[in-house]
Structure 1
Amino acid sequence: MKVSGFTFLRNGTLLGYPYIESLKSLLSVCDEVVVAVGKSDDDTLERVRSIGDARIRVIETTWNEDMKDRGYVYAQQKMIAQFNCSGDWAFYLEGDEVIHEEDAVKIRAAMEKHLANPEVEALVFDYHHFYGCPDLVAKSPAWYRRAPRIIRNTIRSWAPDGLFWVVMHQNKRGRYPNAALVGCPIYHYGHVRSSEKMNEKIRQVSRYWNHTPKAHVYNQIDASILQPFHGKHPAIVQPWFQDYAELVFTADPQYRLSKREKRHRWQMKVEKLLGRDLTKKHYRLVAA
């Protein structure tokens, strides 16, 4: 079995991504890692190459600055990397996501387990979405609880955005992939980067969504969705916390809920009553 990892990056240092930590964690699972690096205003390309691992293959790209439709430029860059993967499986990890070193064997074993079963087209991870500081995780319908991150590399799939895949079956309308659970989480750190880096990220990427950038303030959130994290962070990301992350968080007690947050509170009550996860899923479970 050969496993390809892939991702895309641009201005990773400028925007405060733990992308070097992300890539090194991906190397713990993959036989090759394809990285589409967009023309940047910082040292992203040089830092990726400086990892010095022969399994990393860099593809230099130029982003379409006129593509402003719902972040589709991310899908384009994601697919440039995926189309250059040569493994049986293709493992997509974003630049602010990290694999725990204790889960590497389990992830590889899940791919081995389902390799000979063509019904399983993708593998799905649970998620830890850290918010405000590394000690808190966000849990509400606003934060996807599971997502497919590994796709079988022998099927016709494409990405309408950075988050999920569509499988084209018999030239008919696309569908979400049939999937199995990996049984471990991905650690998502995009919302613990420094406030300065977060606002620079919003300023730069808003144009790809045709949005007017708005300043982001971490404490402006429904604090009831934040829960203490009692687990152990991946070892590789812990030095990054000291240099690039917000370490202390206090919610604004005067914060007024948005209509969307009020709706999510109601939805969580219904979920608790029914014992069901009512959030949107970009996959269909077909195996354990």
Structure 2
Amino acid sequence: MKVVGFSFIRNAVKFDYPIVESIKSVLPICDEFIIALGNSDDNTEDLIKSIDSNKIRIIHTTWDDSLRKGGKVLAVETNKAFNQIKDANWAFYIQGDEVIHEKYLPIIKESMEKWKDDEKVEGLLLNYTHFYGSYDFVGDSRRWYRREIRIVRADKNISSYKDAQGFRKNERKLNVKHINAWVYHYGWVKPPFEQQEKQKYFNSLWHDEEWIKKNVKQTNQFDYSTIDSLSIFEGTHPKVMQERINKLNWKFDFDPTKKNFGLKTKLLHWVEKKSGWRIGEYKNYKII
């Protein structure tokens, strides 16, 4: 079985992306890893090259900054990396703020082996844990997506969809198996200054300057306190994240008993917590 990991990145140093940790977390089960390195204003290339592995292949890309509708440029960059994959059974996608805990690697590898020869299975669906504000809290409201496809067939009829959160095959949803493994999403754990800069930039991938001025606070520090609901994280973090976690240099406190919901959202949240059913959930996949 051949597995190729792939991702894209730009300005990882400037926006404090844990891309090194992301790549390292999946390398043990990848035969190769392809990273589409976008034109950056910092030392992102040196950062990637600091990873001591001969599995990594860098391709240099230039982002089309005019693609502002729906984050399309993210899918375009994802596809640049994906299209470089040759002769693999599976392609393992990981974004620059996502990390796989080492405890899930055996499950993921076993699942890839299990369905390797079953062509009806076009991808594997993973669960998500979204950290917010610090490494001690996770988002637990409806605003956070619960699952995404992160492993797909190396099939050129498959491509990244919309803002690179999922995949489609010839514009239809993929048939997937839901596996018992989690992606740890750290995109909302950054120093307040870097988080605010990221928000300004990230929103520019969806909207024009006028929208950003109206909807993104013009401040130097991101305000983490406006979140609707969090719970305390009681597990362990991936080993590759420990050095980064040890360097945390800001404080975020939150009362997990506090819920900032309207009546409708409060009811929907209650139903989900009691039954596991998320009413009206968007699913960019078909579980088989």
CA distance in 2, matches of 1:108, 1:252: 35
Tell me how far apart the structure 2 counterparts of residues 204 and 165 of structure 1 sit (CA, whole Å).
24
- Taking structure 2 as the reference length, the TM-score comes to 0.89
Residue equivalent to 1:239: 243
Q: Distance in 2 between matches of 1:256 and 1:184?
A: 29
Corresponding residue of 2:3: 3
Query: Any idea what SS the aligned residue of 1:271 has?
Result: helix
Q: 1:219 aligns with which of 200, 208, 225?
A: 225
1:196 is displaced (CA, Å) by: 1.0
Tell me the CA shift for residue 270 of structure 1.
Answer: 3.5
Per the alignment, residue 100 of structure 2 pairs with 99
Cα RMSD (Å): 2.1
For 1:189, the aligned partner's letter is: Y
Residues 247, 103 of structure 1: alpha-carbon distance in 2 compared, 3 angstrom cutoff: farther
Question: Partners in 1 of 2:111 and 2:62 — Cα distance?
Answer: 35
Matches within 5 A, 1:1-288: 1-86=1-86, 87-154=88-155, 156-159=157-160, 160-168=162-170, 174-210=171-207, 211-212=211-212, 214-215=216-217, 216-222=222-228, 225-244=229-248, 246-250=250-254, 263-272=264-273, 275-278=276-279, 279-286=281-288
- Matched position secondary structure for 2:135: strand
Give distance in 2, aligned partners of 1:267 and 1:254: 16
Instruction: Report the Cα distance in structure 1 between the residues aligned to 2:226 and 2:238, rounded to whole angstroms.
Output: 28
Cα deviation for residue 245 of structure 1 reads 6.5
Contact 2:130 2:138 survives alignment (8 Å): yes
Q: Distance in 1 between matches of 2:273 and 2:103?
A: 31
With normalisation by structure 1, the TM-score equals 0.89
The alpha-carbon distance between structure 1 residues 187 and 273, as it changes in their structure 2 partners (threshold 3 A), is closer
Cα 1:13–1:251 shift into 2, 3 Å: farther
Q: Are 1:103 and 1:184, in contact at CA under 8 Å, matched by a contact in 2?
A: yes
Identity %: 34
Alpha-carbon distance, 1:246 to partner:
4.4
Paired residues, number? 276
User: SS of the residue aligned with 2:53?
Assistant: coil
1:144-174 Cα distance to aligned partner (Å, 9 max, x none): 1111101111261112221011111xxxxx2
Matched residue of 1:281: which SS?
coil
Structure 1, unmatched stretches of 5+, are 169-173
Name whichever of 24-33 and 269-278 sits farther off: 269-278
* Offset at residue 109 of structure 1 (A): 0.9
Residues 263 and 19 of structure 1: is their aligned pair in 2 closer, same or farther, counting only changes over 3 Å?
farther
How many angstroms apart in 2 are the aligned matches of 1:99 and 1:51?
Answer: 17
2:36 alignment partner, SS class: strand
Please report how far the alpha carbon of residue 51 of structure 1 lies from its aligned counterpart in structure 2 after TM superposition: 1.1
> In terms of mean alpha carbon deviation, does 80-89 or 209-218 score higher?
209-218
| C-alpha separation in 2, matches of 1:269 and 1:198 | 30
Task: Report if the CA contact (8 A) 2:268-2:278 is conserved.
Answer: no
What letter matches 1:58 in structure 2?
A: I
Once the two structures are superposed, residues 55-102 of structure 1 have per-residue CA deviations (whole angstroms, 9 ceiling, x without a partner) of: 100011111111111110001001001111122111110111111112
The runs of 5 or more residues in structure 2 that have no matched partner are: none
Cα separation, partners in 2 of 1:263 and 1:91, compared to 1, 3 Å: farther
Q: Distance in 1 between matches of 2:125 and 2:38?
A: 27
Name the CA distance, whole Å, in 2 between partners of 1:161 and 1:95.
14
